[in-house]
A and B are shown apart, each in its own frame.
Chain A
Amino acid sequence: MEGTPDGKPPEQRRLVLLANDAMRARRRPVAIVVSWAYELLLAAAIAWPAAAYVGGAYGGHPSGDAPLFRPGGLALADLLLRARPVTAVLGAHTAPLFALGLVLGLVPLAFLIVQIAHVTPARRTPPLALALPRAWAAFPRFLALLLAVTLLQAFVVVVGLVLAGATANLATNGLGEARAQQLGAVVFFVFGALAATLGVLHDLARVAAIRFDVGAVRAARLAASALRRGFAATTWSWAWRAAIGLVPVALAALLSSRLGGRAGAFWAMVILHQLVVLARVALRASWLAKALRVVDGAHRVRKAADAADALDPAT
């Protein structure tokens, strides 16, 4: 009870909380790989019908799909235009799978957070049998948070678009079209930043829900309070990871344009691309670990945690 807002007795748990400084993503490589694997499998399932369509169209070419990658895009444009009749079929498969994948993705996300935040009494990484039920139990709360934050973010973005457009229109006579549109873009950027902050708050609420085993509303309050205490540091922690996450994508695009089509490059590209995805998953895990430390640092009774080091029998 001590040190946790929910007050549940510790004997109900077989996992124990890690101390604040001990919550590091790098200590949970398996959980990161599980998250990456989920994304890979989901992406493969979503992309499969389109890939099969390409295979059906160009499998008979002696060079396979190589014409689709020729400069100028003739074969690619032709195939895309010719695919119009099957886009409804592809969409009918892809859209629900995409939506389902997004919702079910809450479970591996919760699993990742549980893994980062906990340890067994023997100071080992939580096994699947213990972590997965905990993650599954968090699913309803995560879903509620997802729906609420998505609605809020959509509202903020729409308001931002409307206000940005209105600002640009109002300013056109005085500033000229380009400057007015730039001013509109600044207005939208403010709302975009607000939507991103809501995303940060969302993550803080999720980790709070796991860390303190509380409901969605309580988790949101804890998150808001934690964000208020360290707004600049917390948002910066998210922002630099998000920005750095673009670097491997750009590097891979650069390498891909140079290597693409060369003999033997296929497996190099597979490895490179999956390393990019894995690196981005790791950055996400790193941010979630940071979020855990932020909410924990803001709400936990510090001395109890300090005294217990990694193992806190009170929880």
Chain B
Amino acid sequence: MRTRTVPARIALGGLFVAVAAAISDDARGEAPPSPYDSDAQMALHADPVASYTLRATLDPAAHTLHGEGTITWRNTSRVAVRELWLHLYMNAFKNERSVFLRTPLGGGRGAGRPTDWGYIDVRKLALREPDATTVTDVWSGAEVSRPGDPDETDARVPLPREVLPGDTIALDVAWDEKLPTVLERTGYDGSFHMIAQWFPKVARLEPDGRWAHFPFHRLSEFYADFGTYDVTLDVPQSFTLGATGPMVESRLEKGRRVERHVQTDIHDFAWTAWDEWQTATETIGGVQVTLLYPPGYRVDAKRELESLRFTMPYFDKRYGRYPYPVLTVVHPPVAAGEAGGMEYPTFITSGGPWYGPPGILAPELVTVHEYGHQYFYGLVATSEHDWPFLDEGLNSFAEQDVMSKWRGAGSWVDLFGLTVDGGAMHGVLSNLSVHDEKVAQGAADFMTGGSYGTLVYFRTSAVLETMRRVYGDDLVLQALGRYARKNRFFHPGPDELLTNFAEVLGPQAAATLRTAYFEKGWVDYVVTEVRSHPLHDPAGVFDRDGKRETVREGKTAGAHEGWVVVHRRGTLSFPVDIELALEDGTTQRVRWNGEGDSTRVPFTGGSPLRAAVVDPDDRVLIDQVRTNNFATAPASARASTARSTEKLVYWTELVLQAVLP
């Protein structure tokens, strides 16, 4: 169920234009200061809206769970409500008629179906009045599915009375749950249990009284209100637990391990239990980091810790201090790979095999990415359903930014002299789907998982990386940092992001951002003509001093003149450099503001013009076609590509030697 309407998007555009008009300078060298450029004015706590006091008992042999407890919810909207919406996301794995399993999307996580089904049965949901003695069952009237739609992940619960704005209600809840074989972040594999999207969870009520509720969808993640989670977990004694928030109590009783975890200012809770977990702990910047990893994965755990040692202080500096005392990193075994690469407040899952070569930075990338979600999803709690680019996209940029600061050009791969940079790959991959769909749309609106991935993750990131390269590291990171601090513990939308970019980078840059995300914006710079000729006196017929004189060939002065024609195709524009290469080996650089469809760059030099390159430093990462960014003058010899030929021949020889009989 989408909550963002078309009129809202128009209003968003209007707001943006107003902000843009109010700020006239484009991409200033220095943005006007804001209290949110540092942590000084940043919110310290969230407004607690939906809080959960729960107790869960796991039977790891049957893969079942019994839960019970209390949900406290406050109406923070401007209107009275007579219903609640509860997300019962474990029912996504109940049968093939769930939205999750029936949606036709191929490939990627969640593409299979569980070999053992999972579901949740709510046994009790009762409204407890403030006098604490009156308890009214509300579950009997609940509507778990809609007529014509058998999905059971999004339940409507009518209430016996109105809940007025500002009023708080308490609900007693109990449920039984069967976990599926691990799929789409949750489930079991043998005695390994990853337990996420596991309890009846109240949807978020927007300020205007609309419920932001939606069924569990393959491409969508989550959206919820902040609150305090006080969760007691009960597992067999031989199991090791990892969970959201710090452990405040722990005891062993009757062969069971009982742990209580309490954390304020969060909007979800996940946990894991396994009798094979190995642990490593380290304090990084005052945060107790715990790594849970399978036997034999010590090297991965070390690599993940090392990546956090760089990333956590960097994020503190860029996007505000991490406010929680703990972080738990779970590295699931490869067989439970569907549990990997996910984020919950103070709890992230990494992944990858134990034998991954150190030059392929997969464990580091996943860890850094999921940690980044502590900000872009966790603290800046956007709707992952409505605007996935605000969490996955911004976080992908943050991930590649920190990885490139840490590992340089080899931020993805650094192996045998070959370096692959994450930012570069985001740029190249993002061009694959740019014309298909727009970036800024709901997760469930994407036609394919492929376009969701390339647009939401890579396009969002590549556009920001392009702006970083064009307008400067400081300005773009200042804009994103200001957005992150200002909206900590709030639920911003795209307008807040664009407003911050307009404030820091100016209206032109922010308009570019909007076009890129909302209008499938693209750009392709093309060099179409490179010409030069010797500079000479004009030839022709001249009337001088009463005489007619014919000059057949003007005198040359050793200099050359000419021009280069560069076109800009597409709907985005960035200022770019144009490099003119002369036959004598020297170069000249000209700056084009990128406005207009074309420019003719005049040339004068002591040598003929040999070739021209637009954007020679690869700042415009999202340039649609890189192989038309240059051209050689017709009279000039084409440059050598012998180096690549030599390498191709050599590598082919090595392959032949490996297989020649």
Contacts and interface: CB of A to CB of B under 8 A. Distances in A.
Interface stretch (B42-50, B171-179, B648-656): B648-656
A75 B417 contact: no
Interface stretch (A20-28, A40-48, A120-128, A230-238): A40-48
A70 B625 CA distance: 17
A85 interface: no
Nearest to B628: A60
Closest 6 pairs (CB-CB, A-B): A178-B296, A257-B417, A64-B639, A72-B421, A71-B409, A62-B581
B295 A176 contact: yes
A106 B661 CA distance: 7
A276 B647 CA distance: 13
A63 B579 CA distance: 12
B333 interface: yes
Nearest to B412: A73
The CB with the most chain A CB atoms within 10 A, among B355, B428, B645, B650, is that of: B650
A274 B647 CA distance: 11
A161 interface: no
B295 A280 contact: no
A161 to B, nearest CB: 16
A105 interface: yes
Interface of A: 39-40, 42-44, 46-47, 50-51, 54-55, 57-66, 68-75, 77-79, 81-82, 101-102, 105-106, 109, 142, 146, 172-173, 176-179, 181-182, 202, 249, 253, 256-257, 260-261, 266, 269-270, 273-274, 276-277, 280-281, 284
A50 B648 contact: yes
Given A54-B644, A177-B354, A253-B417, 8 more contacts: A51-B648, A60-B611, A63-B639, A74-B428, A79-B627, A253-B416, A276-B650, A280-B657
B639 A82 contact: no
A75 B625 CA distance: 10
Contact of B648 (A47, A101, A172): A47
Contact of A55 (B294, B429, B645): B645
A50 B413 CA distance: 24
Interface of B: 190, 276, 294-297, 333-335, 353-355, 408-410, 413, 416-421, 423-425, 427-429, 432, 579, 581, 610-613, 618, 621, 625-627, 630-632, 638-646, 648-654, 656-657, 659-661
Contacts of A273: 646, 650, 653
B638 A59 contact: yes
A117 to B, nearest CB: 18
Given A43-B656, A54-B644, A177 B333 contact: yes
A178 B295 contact: yes
The CB with the most chain A CB atoms within 10 A, among B333, B581, B640, B660, is that of: B660
A256 B626 CA distance: 26
Contacts of B654: 249, 277
Contacts of B335: 172, 177
Nearest to A182: B296
Given A61-B611, A74-B621, A273-B646, A179 B295 contact: yes
A304 B295 CA distance: 63
The CB with the most chain A CB atoms within 10 A, among B334, B413, B652, is that of: B652
A178 B296 CA distance: 5
Contacts of B425: 73, 77
B643 A69 contact: yes
A261 B409 CA distance: 16
A73 B409 CA distance: 8
7 contacts: A60-B639, A61-B632, A71-B410, A176-B295, A177-B333, A178-B296, A277-B653
B65 to A, nearest CB: 22
A65 B644 contact: yes
B652 A47 contact: yes
Nearest to B334: A177
Given A61-B639, A177-B334, A277-B653, A47 B645 contact: yes
Nearest to B336: A177
A47 B649 contact: yes
A73 B421 contact: yes
Contacts of A71: 408-410, 419, 421
Contacts of A62: 579, 581, 610-613, 630, 632, 639
Nearest to B654: A249
B643 A72 contact: no
B242 to A, nearest CB: 17
Nearest to A177: B333
A276 B335 CA distance: 41
A66 B333 CA distance: 42
A71 B640 CA distance: 20
A82 B627 contact: yes
A306 B638 CA distance: 64
A170 to B, nearest CB: 13
Nearest to B408: A71
Contact of A40 (B429, B631, B639, B653): B653
Nearest to B642: A266
B47 to A, nearest CB: 43
B361 to A, nearest CB: 14
Given A72-B419, A79-B627, A81-B432, A142 B653 contact: no
A146 B294 contact: no
A135 to B, nearest CB: 13
Contacts of B661: 102, 105-106, 109, 142, 146, 202
B630 A61 contact: yes
B428 A77 contact: yes
B605 to A, nearest CB: 14
A231 to B, nearest CB: 22
Nearest to B657: A280
Contacts of B631: 60
Contacts of B408: 71
A47 B642 CA distance: 12
Contacts of B626: 74-75, 78-79
Nearest to A81: B428
A215 B639 CA distance: 54
A5 B626 CA distance: 66
B456 to A, nearest CB: 19
The CB with the most chain B CB atoms within 10 A, among A55, A102, A276, is that of: A55
Contacts of A142: 661
Nearest to B582: A62
A69 B642 CA distance: 12
A71 B654 CA distance: 24
A43 B652 contact: yes
A73 B632 CA distance: 23
A59 B610 CA distance: 12
The CB with the most chain A CB atoms within 10 A, among B295, B420, B627, is that of: B627
A68 B418 CA distance: 11
A73 B419 contact: yes
A61 B631 CA distance: 6
Nearest to A105: B660
A294 to B, nearest CB: 19
A257 B531 CA distance: 37
Contacts of A74: 421, 424, 427-428, 618, 621, 626
A79 B641 CA distance: 14
A16 to B, nearest CB: 27
Contacts of B618: 70, 74-75
A222 B129 CA distance: 94
